[in-house]
Every structure is written in C-alpha cells, then in structure tokens.
Amino acid sequence: MKLDRSRRGVLIGLAAAVSFGVATPFAKQLLEDARPQLLAGLLYLGAFMVLAATVPFRRRSSEARLQRGDAPRLIGLVVCGGVLAPVLLLVGLERVSGSSGSLLLNLEGPFTLLIGLAVFREHLGPRALLGAATVFVGGAVLSAGGPGGSADVFGVLCIAAACLLWGLDNNLTQSLSLRDPFSLVTVKTSVSAAVNLTLAFLLGAGLPSIVLTLGALGLGAISYGVSLLLDTYALRLLGAAREAVIFATAPFVGAALALPVLSETLSAAEVVAGGVMAGGIVLMLGDRHEHRHRHKSVVHEHAHVHDDHHQHEHEPGVVATALHSHVHRHARLAHAHPHVSDLHHRHPH
C-alpha cells in the first residue's frame, strides 16, 4: 500500500533523526583528540565524501536545479547550519555530559518551529504550541542541574545557540526543498567542510591522526551526510515545524547511547528533563490540521506528479504520472483535506 506524503515524511524524518542522534556520544569521544573546528570540518568532509561516492550510480535526476536566486538562502544555511552551529555544539559538548548534550538538542525543534511560525508563515495549532513550550521547560531543567546537580552554563548556552542556528538552517533549507535535495546537501557539506578545515588549520590545529580522521569521516558520512539528505526530503514533505517534531527524537537516541558509550549515568535532572521533553514531543505529534483552504495561482518549478494540486498540459512525450520537473502554473483551487505547512500550503487561518 502506498504511503501518503505525511506518513512518508514521518518515516524519512525518523530515519534522519536516528542517523543524527548517534553522533553526539561518539563526537564527544572524538573531542578528546581534536579541536571543535577541526572535528566539524572532518564530519562534513565525511558527509560530502559519501554523497560524492554515489554520483556515478545516480540516475538522471527529475528534480529542479538550484538557481542563482537561491544563493542568499544557500549562503545563510551554510553559515548557520554548516559552520557556526556544529562548532558551538562541539564546544558545548566539551563542557557538559554526553547525555545532557544530547537532551539539550531537543531545543532545536522548538526553535525551528517558532522561526517557521514567525518568519516563514507556517501554522501549528494550540496543542503543538503547548508541546513546544513544554520542550523549552525541559531545556530549562537541564540548564539548572546536570550530572551531580550542576551544569556548565556556558556549555548549555553554546548548545542552545547551536540549536537556534540549526532552527534557522532548517527553515532556510525547507524554503529551498523544492530544489534537488541531493544538490542542496552536496553544496552545504562541501562548503562547510572546506570552511571549517581551513579555519581550523589557520587557528593552529595540527594534522589529525589516521584513527581520528577515519572515525570522524565515518561518523560524518552517516550522521551528517545520510541524515541531512533524508532530513531535506522530510522537510519538503512535512514543512519545517512538523519535521522539527519528528527530528526531536534524535536527542533521545544520543542520550541512550551515551550511557554505554561514555559510561555515564543519568542524573535526576536529566531524567526529569527527558520526561518533560518527551511529553512535549507527544503533544506536538498529536496535532492534526484539516480545513477548507484556498490555493492562489502561482508559477514555479519542482519535481511533481499530477494530483489535485498539479493539473496542467505537457509537451508530447512527458508522462504525467511519473516524477518530472518543469516550470508550471498552479491554478486557483479551493478544497479541504488533511495537510501540513509545506510550501504548497501557506495560507491564512
């Protein structure tokens, strides 16, 4: 049975979350032998390498290409999500436990959601908004007390700042998600790797050992390359706000792995914070949105098949039921169905 867009988006988003969630405890281990900037560069280099390795095996893409006008948003997401955020995360991980760092990453979801609502005109109901506020409360609990009843405030603030920047990155990426996700992620990972490695060496970092390099490249391939690609597809299908809810499962994967990998134990504050954050995520997942809405006429380009939203003529030889991309016009349309705040459903409520 074919899954609808929303369910496909949820499954892809969960796969992206698990892929990213495993990174935190292993990255904390690698920080024992590498500076944050150098490690960030190696992680993104691993991400770029795994994407580049698949190029000879890819079929001709039916996706829309990146355009010159996309450059400002592309630069913004690379700087925020590819250069600044990962370094801030790694600096924070040097100062807090792996389980605390993993749970603090839950803040990325509410930041993504709030930026989507305030800046990018996404919509969420009262239940989802309450869930976001609950996750923020969990973050406050963690900042008040980590292992042993105290937390490094600077470390907490660094991770919170990284989450804020990734929240902006997620929304910028979602605004470009009608373009080819593979091209988008390839640009992001290659530029992020080059910038971070260049800065690391300029700041005096030495050449990493073979063991560190291989470990970082392998971790980056899975937790940054595969995860970023899957997350971009999920952002397209769900919108940034709802994908943030799904991706919020990633920190719990990292927190669980931190126990055996780093031989850590959970403090009372971490248990309480994890429970509060889990409750907020459940609230957001239970939000359902359906009403009669109106689509304005718009002309744009993206990969699509013909459905209720896509009815137009083609040149001879184009199969309307197969995925294809070209500039097309959406006619005015009014109807009702369950939907999310993807780029085809930004309307007043």
3-state SS, the chain, equals CCCCHHHHHHHHHHHHHHHHHCHHHHHHHHCCCCCHHHHHHHHHHHHHHHHHHHHHHCCCCCCECCCHHHHHHHHHHHHHHHHHHHHHHHHHHCCCCHHHHHHHHHHHHHHHHHHHHHCCCCCCCHHHHHHHHHHHHHHHHHHHCCHHHCCCHHHHHHHHHHHHHHHHHHHHHHHCCCECHHHHHHHHHHHHHHHHHHHHHHCCCCCCCHHHHHHHHHHHHHHHHHHHHHHHHHHHHHCHHHHHHHHCCHHHHHHHHHHHHCCCCCCHHHHHHHHHHHHHHHHHHCCCCEEEEEECCEEEEEEECCECCECCCCCCCCCCCCCEEEEEEECCEEEEEECCCCCCCCCCC
Same domain assignment for residues 110 and 151: yes
Average pLDDT over residues 252-262: 77
Same domain assignment for residues 276 and 320: no
pTM: 0.76
Same domain assignment for residues 147 and 231: yes
In a domain, 341, yes or no: no
Residue 161 has pLDDT above 70, yes or no: yes
Tens of pLDDT, residues 209-234? 999 999 999 999 999 999 999 999 88
The total of structural domains in the chain comes to 2
In a domain, 345, yes or no: no
pLDDT of residue 340: 55
Domain extent for 119: 5-291
Residue 54 has pLDDT above 70, yes or no: yes
pLDDT of residue 83: 92
Residue 241 has pLDDT above 90, yes or no: no
Same domain assignment for residues 284 and 184: yes
Tens of pLDDT, residues 6-17? 678 878 888 998
pLDDT of residue 102: 77
Same domain assignment for residues 279 and 312: no
Greater pLDDT, 237 or 46:
46
Same domain assignment for residues 284 and 304: no
Same domain assignment for residues 280 and 316: no
